[in-house]
Amino acid sequence: MRRLNRKKTLNLMKELDAFPKVPESYVETSASGGTVSLIAFTTVAFLTIMEFMVYQDTWMKYEYEVDKDFTSKLRINIDITVAMRCQYVGADVLDLAETMVASADGLIYEPVIFDLSPQQKEWQRMLQLIQSRLQEEHSLQDVIFKSAFKSASTALPPREDNSLQSPDACRIHGHLYVNKVAGNFHITVGKAIPHPRGHAHLAALVSHDSYNFSHRIDHLSFGELIPGIINPLDGTEKIASDHNQMFQYFITVVPTKLHTYKISAETHQFSVTERERVINHAAGSHGVSGIFMKYDISSLMVTVTEEHMPFWQFLVRLCGIIGGIFSTTGILHGFGRFVAEIIFCRFRLGSHRSTSVPLPDGHTSNHLPLITDNSMH
């Protein structure tokens, strides 16, 4: 009884077989079929390798939402070199809430030489080249995000030459914590002093001839400091053409949450618009000489997530490639054989029709002779 049930089950499974087996004696091979098969296998292998490379790659997904965090502090990372002595310049932040953040809260004034060493000039040249490529090819930003914490540091390398030249510039570097409202970070003549109506800079004791706001921005970023991230102003250098010159940077800061397979961090991206002009009160160009960075916080927050192709999707695409290639090559091969058979058949019919048959009266006939029993013998 069990054997009978097994036999019925086996017969049922044979009836459900969607891949019937053809005896080898019924299979006919050809040179054209072998050539097409070789091309199909080569194409399958090539596309499989390419698909595997796509499967290994990742991409960045951008999502936007309203930033509801207004109570936390915003960190500003600063590394700027000004072509003036440290005792002549002062840096601080004043926001819309008239809250003043003095540079003493986190910035360091370091006397340095403004001119870069050969190695530092090469670093600056490479950084400016990357900045120009980033402006042309925005997709490179995804590569920078994915390589964060993995690439080399973008900080200015230390001087390798022991120059005997006395320091003629001031490097202002460090970080400040400010409110998440629009504000103005500025570097101008004189140290900042508190004032009931805001703040002021003690510039009366500084000679006008010593004004020189030529500067180099080695690094400027907002939020958590992430090594390997290149910001829009990194590597910027401006040379003043006049003692009384104002440099302005209008910055829009966008809160950003970065989630990759390497890191998870809360940082900020920003875009910037630059403007510079000479202060000349007689010509109607009013203002204060210095470097002014006016920033505003966007109400939108961007979440950047690194994504990867699921394994099941890779298998589906791989099966589609293999099945599609074999089906397509089979159709093309069958169509090619059909066309070849039609051409060869017409050629054979034409050769038979052109055969002439002599008649008893000396004429010729181009018609095919009838096949009789005698001719068969």
pLDDT in the model for residue 83: 92
pLDDT in the model for residue 246: 92
Has residue 38 got a pLDDT over 80? Answer: yes
State whether 155 and 288 are in the same domain: yes
Across 142-180, b (16+ Cβ under 10 Å) vs e yields: bebbbebeeeeebebeeeeeeeeeeeebbbbbbebebbb
Looking at per-residue pLDDT, the higher value among 191 and 296 belongs to: 296
Q: CA–CA separation, 244 vs 242, rounded Å? A: 5
Residue 83 lies in a domain: yes
Q: CB within 8 A of 181, min separation 6: which ones?
A: 95, 96, 97, 297
Closest alpha carbon to 259 in 309, 308, 313, 312: 308
Q: Please spell the DSSP secondary structure of 328-341, one letter per residue.
A: HHHHHHHHHHHHHH
| pLDDT band with cut points at 50, 70 and 90 for residue 253 | very high
Q: Please spell the DSSP secondary structure of 33-75, one letter per residue.
A: HHHHHHHHHHHHHHHHHHHHHHHH-EEEEEEEEE----SSEEE
Tally of structural domains, the chain: 2
Name the token pair of 313: 């999707």
State whether 38 and 118 are in the same domain: no
Closest alpha carbon to 106 in 174, 169, 53: 174
What digits encode the pLDDT tens for the residues 255-283? Answer: 988 888 877 888 888 989 999 988 887 77
Q: What percentage of the chain carries pLDDT values higher than 70? A: 78
Has residue 376 got a pLDDT over 50? Answer: no
Has residue 250 got a pLDDT over 90? Answer: yes
Torsion angle of C-alpha atoms 194, 196, 198, 202, degrees rounded to 10: -40
| pLDDT band with cut points at 50, 70 and 90 for residue 34 | confident
Name the token pair of 115: 């001119």
State whether 131 and 39 are in the same domain: no
Average pLDDT, the chain: 80
Name the token pair of 79: 């590394």
**Are the CB atoms for 178 and 253 separated by under 8 Å?**
no
Q: What is the mean pLDDT of residues 192-197?
A: 68
Q: What is the mean pLDDT of residues 204-221?
A: 85
What digits encode the pLDDT tens for the residues 157-169? Answer: 777 766 677 888 9
Looking at per-residue pLDDT, the higher value among 228 and 375 belongs to: 228
3-state secondary structure of 365: strand
**Are the CB atoms for 88 and 236 separated by under 8 Å?**
no
What digits encode the pLDDT tens for the residues 175-186? Answer: 999 888 899 999
Has residue 19 got a pLDDT over 70? Answer: no
Residue 320 lies in a domain: yes
What digits encode the pLDDT tens for the residues 305-363? Answer: 888 888 888 889 888 888 888 888 888 877 877 777 788 776 666 655 555 555 555 55
State whether 135 and 171 are in the same domain: yes
Residue 79 lies in a domain: yes
pLDDT in the model for residue 292: 94
State whether 156 and 229 are in the same domain: yes
State whether 311 and 162 are in the same domain: no
**Are the CB atoms for 162 and 117 separated by under 8 Å?**
no
Closest alpha carbon to 81 in 174, 170, 168: 170
State whether 225 and 95 are in the same domain: yes
Q: What is the mean pLDDT of residues 225-249?
A: 88
3-state secondary structure of 282: helix
**Containing structural domain, residue 97:** 70-241+281-293
pLDDT in the model for residue 51: 87
State whether 125 and 38 are in the same domain: no
Residue 158 lies in a domain: yes
| pLDDT band with cut points at 50, 70 and 90 for residue 39 | confident
Has residue 368 got a pLDDT over 80? Answer: no
Closest alpha carbon to 79 in 123, 105, 101, 110: 110
State whether 98 and 228 are in the same domain: yes
Q: CA–CA separation, 90 vs 103, rounded Å? A: 8
In what helix (H) or strand (E) does residue 228 lie, and over which residues does it extend?
none
Phi, psi for 363 (deg, rounded to 5) = -85, 170
Residue 24 lies in a domain: no
pLDDT in the model for residue 370: 46
| pLDDT band with cut points at 50, 70 and 90 for residue 22 | low
What digits encode the pLDDT tens for the residues 76-120? Answer: 999 999 999 888 898 888 888 767 776 667 889 999 988 888 888
Q: CA–CA separation, 200 vs 194, rounded Å? A: 7
State whether 134 and 82 are in the same domain: yes
| pLDDT band with cut points at 50, 70 and 90 for residue 204 | low
Q: CA–CA separation, 330 vs 337, rounded Å? A: 11
